[in-house]
Amino acid sequence: MQTIGLCRFSYLGDGGFQTMHDTLADREAFLYNADRLEQRFRFFETMTLPSVRGQTDPDFKFLIVIGERFPDAFRTRLDTLIADIPQAIIQVHAPDRHRTVMPTAVNSIREFDGKHCIQFRLDDDDAMAVTFVEKAKAVAELALPMMLTRKVFAIDFVQGFKARMGPLGIEAVEHRQLSLGIAQALVLSPRVPKTVMNYGHHKLWHGMPTLTFADDNMWARGYNDFNDSMQKPGHEVQPMELLDTAGEDHFRDTFNIDADHVRRVFSRA
């Protein structure tokens, strides 16, 4: 069945962020600040893209949505970074309502071929296990016979890591969390035009059957200075420890994240 992943890379529009701005110009100044984009790109290069590139099942599409005002130099860098990933597609959209743009973008590449469709989201500073697409498809196929009367159901892998990348390598701590939105997929029936972006990931289980798995590390959530969810006062970051050799090997095997690559990228001036 067709599988589509969505990455919203600093899309400039109305909504989509917990951090609020008074005007579109204020949001543009925040999103396209050079220091912020530099950090986002370093996480994107060392975490997100390796996990996409390393998928054991390559039969999926990875849609990256950016705004039409995305800075030219960073757009060139984005094109270069995804050049060797055949699943990656970039779409450019004008400023508009986030909840309108994202479903339109996803449905523009959906085949509506009479089969169910798997959809997931992945932020530009997070990673999914390299087995995520393969496992999501396997679970969906097994679950379909008991879900045929349902328009949509969810698959949620709840175990992973909180992680911070830096010049010394990878700091991380193991974590479990329901409905985090990473390594989480929706399975939509053939005629349902809604998308993964029509549902709040943290409340999926409120309105649909959800199959939950906690037996493998399936995601790594990147922590950095510009996490949208951490801009509010009082947010505390769980302590992390620098990975040893065994931990680095686990990240390489699980997410295709290479600690030496992390050190090189985060040591650049």
pLDDT tens, position by position, 77-102: 999 999 999 999 999 999 999 999 99
Q: Is the pLDDT of residue 41 over 90?
A: yes
Where do the H-state alpha helices sit in the chain? 24-31, 34-43, 49-53, 72-81, 98-109, 132-147, 204-207, 245-255, 259-267
Distance CA 220, CA 163 (A): 6
Pull the structure tokens for residue 156: 């949620």
| Domain count within the chain | 1
CA angle 106, 46, 238 (to 5 degrees): 95
Residue 55's CB is within 10 A of a number of other CB atoms, namely 22
> For strand 126-128 and strand 152-157, is the pairing parallel, antiparallel, or unpaired?
unpaired
The pLDDT assigned to 204 comes to 86
Q: Give the residue numbers spanning the domain of 17.
A: 2-267
The pLDDT assigned to 226 comes to 65
Q: Tabulate helix, strand, coil % of the chain (nearest 5).
A: 35, 25, 40
Residue-wise pLDDT tens digits, 61-75: 999 999 999 999 999
Q: Is 51 helix (H, G, I), strand (E, B) or coil?
A: helix
Provide, rounded to the nearest whole percent, the portion of the chain with pLDDT above 70.
93
Distance CA 136, CA 186 (A): 9
Distance CA 35, CA 25 (A): 17
Pull the structure tokens for residue 148: 């045929």
The CATH number covering residue 179 comes to 3.90.550
Q: Is the pLDDT of residue 44 over 80?
A: yes
**Of 239, 198, 212, nearest in space to 104 by CA:** 198
The pLDDT assigned to 203 comes to 83
